[in-house]
Amino acid sequence: MTAFSAWSRLVRRLPGPAARFLLERIMVRGLMLGWPPNRRAARGNLRRVLAHAGRSCRDDDVDPLLDESLRLFARFLLLMAAHPVEVEAARRTLDFPMMERLKSLGAEKRGVIIATPNYGLVAHFLWALVEGGVPLSLPILNREFLAHFPPGIYSAIKTVGASATAALEALERGEIVATISDINFLPRRITTDFFGAPAPIGYAPARLALSSGAPILPVYATANGDRGVVECDEPIRPQGKTLTELHAAVAASMQRFIARRPGQWMVYEDFWDLRAMDRKYSLARRLARWS
C-alpha cells in the first residue's frame, strides 16, 4: 500500500462534512496555500488570466475566484481518496452535452484524445465516463498511488513512460485516451503562448494525435452550484498540422474556457517561470517512481 492509499483510507473513514473540513480548511487552505510561494503563484495566475481578458484584477476580484478554486481542489482530492460523498457526486450530478460529439468522433474508428486541464470537476467526469462503460484510459506517470481505487476505475489508469505505447495501442483499437493538458511530464519542454506569454504546458495530446491520426477533443467539466456540465470545444484534427500548431490549438482552447471561468482552474504554481517549472516537473517524475 502506498502512502497516498493509506492516507486515503483514513479520509474515507470520516463522514462527508469532516472529510471536507480536513481537506479544504486544513490541507488546502492551511497547509498548501499557507506556503507563501504557493499563495503568490495562485493569486498571480488568476491576475494574469483576468488581465489578459482585460478585466479588473484587484484583490477584490481575485479573492472570490481563488476561494472557488480551492473548494474545487478540495473536492478533487476527496475523489482522489475515493471518498463516497464525491464518488456519488460523480455518479449523480453531471450533465454530458459533449457525449454526442464524443460518439460521432468515436464512430470514425481512429480513437479520440480527450484533452482536459486541471479545471472544475475534471476527476469527476473521467470517473463517471469510466464507470458508465466508456472505453477510456488515462495515462499517468505511476498509477500505483491510486491502488485504493475500485478495480473498474483503477484498470482504466495506465502507467506510461515517454513512449506512450499503451496510449497509442488504445487509440488503434478505437478507444478514448484522456490527457491532462495543462501539465507536462514528458521529458522535453515545449512552450506555447498561454495568456500572453510562453508556458510549458503539456504537449501529450498533440504528440499522440500526430502519431495516431486521432482527433483531439478539448473537454471541460464546469461546476455550477451542486451540479456540473461537461462540455467540449471543437475537435482539433492533426491532418496537415505540425506539433507546434496542435500544441498551440490545445492551449488556445484551454485559454478560452479558463478565461470564461477563472475560478475553476486548479493550478497553484507559476506556469510562466520556466526554470522553476522544469525543476518541479523533474521532481514530480522522480517522486512518481516511489509514490
The answer, yes or no, to whether residue 290 has pLDDT greater than 70, is no
The residue type at 76: F
Q: Which cell numbers hold the place of 176?
A: 478514448
Q: Which long-range contacts (CB under 8 A, 24 or more apart) does 20-23 make?
A: 20/74, 20/75, 20/78, 20/85, 23/74, 23/77, 23/78
The confidence score (pLDDT) of residue 185 equals 79
pLDDT over 70 for what percent of the chain? 97
Q: How far apart are CA 69 and CA 251, in angstroms?
A: 20
Q: How far apart are CA 38 and CA 128, in angstroms?
A: 30
The confidence score (pLDDT) of residue 187 equals 80
The answer, yes or no, to whether residue 46 has pLDDT greater than 60, is yes
291 pLDDT tier (thresholds 50, 70, 90): low
- pLDDT, tens digit (0-9, with 9 covering 90-100), for 214-236: 999 999 999 999 999 999 999 99
Element at 219 (helix H, strand E):
strand 216-224
- pLDDT, tens digit (0-9, with 9 covering 90-100), for 234-247: 999 999 999 999 99
Please provide the average confidence, as pLDDT, over all residues in the chain: 94
123 pLDDT tier (thresholds 50, 70, 90): very high
54 pLDDT tier (thresholds 50, 70, 90): very high
The answer, yes or no, to whether residue 83 has pLDDT greater than 70, is yes
Q: Which cell numbers hold the place of 201?
A: 504546458
Handedness of CA 206, 208, 209, 215 (dihedral sign): negative
The confidence score (pLDDT) of residue 85 equals 98
Can you tell me the mean pLDDT for 187-195? 93
Crossing angle of helices 59-80 and 84-92, in 10° steps, is 100
Q: Which residues of 74-99 are buried (b: 16+ CB within 10 A; e: fewer)?
A: bbbbbbbbbbebbbebbeebbebebe
Pairing of β 216-224 and β 192-194:
unpaired
Crossing angle of helices 36-52 and 243-260, in 10° steps, is 90
The confidence score (pLDDT) of residue 163 equals 67
Per mean pLDDT, which of 179-188, 236-245, 271-280 is the most reliable? 236-245
What Rg, from alpha-carbon coordinates, does the chain have?
A: 18
Reference 231, options 217, 213, 210; nearest CA is 217
Can you tell me the mean pLDDT for 52-69? 97
55, 103 in Cβ contact below 8 A?
no
